[in-house]
Chain A
């Protein structure tokens, strides 16, 4: 039992990332309000970035800026996942802004931001 807790604590970032992914995913599927779907999508995005950046961390080493002319690879953490996540964060905000613009247009057209009502109205319009 104690061993189980020690393993859980040692994998804390990955487990938190998976739990956040699950929370975001369930809310993305089940919520009816469009704004809450957007927030759930952002939470999913952030959880993936957390997982990815946690793969680059090495215990006891410092951030990847060269200090004191020390060029050995044993002083710094892995810089590659950090670079990947940097791109991801900016893409995430772009997608969120695009979703918010879509929500504004949907509200102008249908007068509601409830997903089921929009589907019903659109189906009635299509007939």
Chain B
């Protein structure tokens, strides 16, 4: 089945569906050829013209004033890199000196954001969840949101994509994607021992999933990572984070003993809850990054 006959069949289907314009012309759509009538962009009203002029002038003035004030403030800041910076006070000293014995993490930054300041990290995971929920609301194509001509256009695009599969991309992805996913898992699991952690490892895993989806197409990804899996992982990981940290907060605030072993520093199974929280955060971030790509590209996960 050659490319031309496939194109002809999709055109024929589109024509049967009742489109007014044939698909070939519809493709020639750039920023300069608008699909519908537009009024001219120059406003006729003198007042609006004057307002736009005033807006430009005042925008430049405000920006220049702000930058001038900021640059003036810079010279009154404490010297860059000095040891008696007011930002490094006894809080930082406590985190460094007693971080290892209280959290068990060799990476002080990981121990800080997942033990001392775990509430902030939970809020930030919620921001990720909120972002993916908002993008879902905007871009998910279900029965409320679908327009017939867009659907036909998408089907046509997919036919073109399947016909032009990229051999180089596939061969490279065969080698590179397992390495990327493995590296992402390594960074997540070693978050408390070396640089990295949940966010970095999750982003790396998300990047690997995106590469896999680009080179092999969305159907192959849906065999192991569909909508139900996505929903279960994101909600389950956030709930797991919330419940385990709530347990730690509750026992800590009431002076009870939370029987979470701290282990020996330097081993992977150490640092109490930090390993579990790293995995939860990493999964949320990976699913969110892949979800952004899938929703913007195709409108479905």
A and B touch in the complex (CB under 8 A): yes
Question: Could you tell me which A residues sit within 8 Å of B by CB distance?
Answer: 7, 10-15, 18-19, 21-22, 25-26, 29-30, 54-59, 63-66, 71-74, 76, 78-83, 86-87, 89-91, 93-95, 97-98, 100-102, 104-105, 108, 111-114, 116-117, 120-121, 124
Chain B residue numbers with a CB within 8 Å of A7 are: 75
Chain B's interface size range is 35 or more
CB distance from A11 to the nearest CB of B (A): 6
B113-A26 in contact (CB<8A)? no
Across the interface, name the chain A residue whose C-beta is closest to B56. A30
B67-A21 in contact (CB<8A)? yes
Chain A residue numbers with a CB within 8 Å of B46 are: none
B80-A87 in contact (CB<8A)? no
A101-B295 in contact (CB<8A)? yes
Interface 1/0 per residue, B42-78 and A, CB below 8 Å: 0100000000100010011011101100110011010
B70-A21 in contact (CB<8A)? yes
Main secondary structure of the interface of B (DSSP, over half): helix
CB distance from A81 to the nearest CB of B (A): 7
CB distance from B9 to the nearest CB of A (A): 27
Given contacts A15-B71, A57-B81, A73-B92, contact A94 B127 (CB under 8 A): yes
Q: Which stretch from B20-28, B103-111, B172-180, B230-238 is at the chain A interface? A: B103-111
B79-A10 in contact (CB<8A)? yes
CB distance from A66 to the nearest CB of B (A): 5
B59-A65 in contact (CB<8A)? no
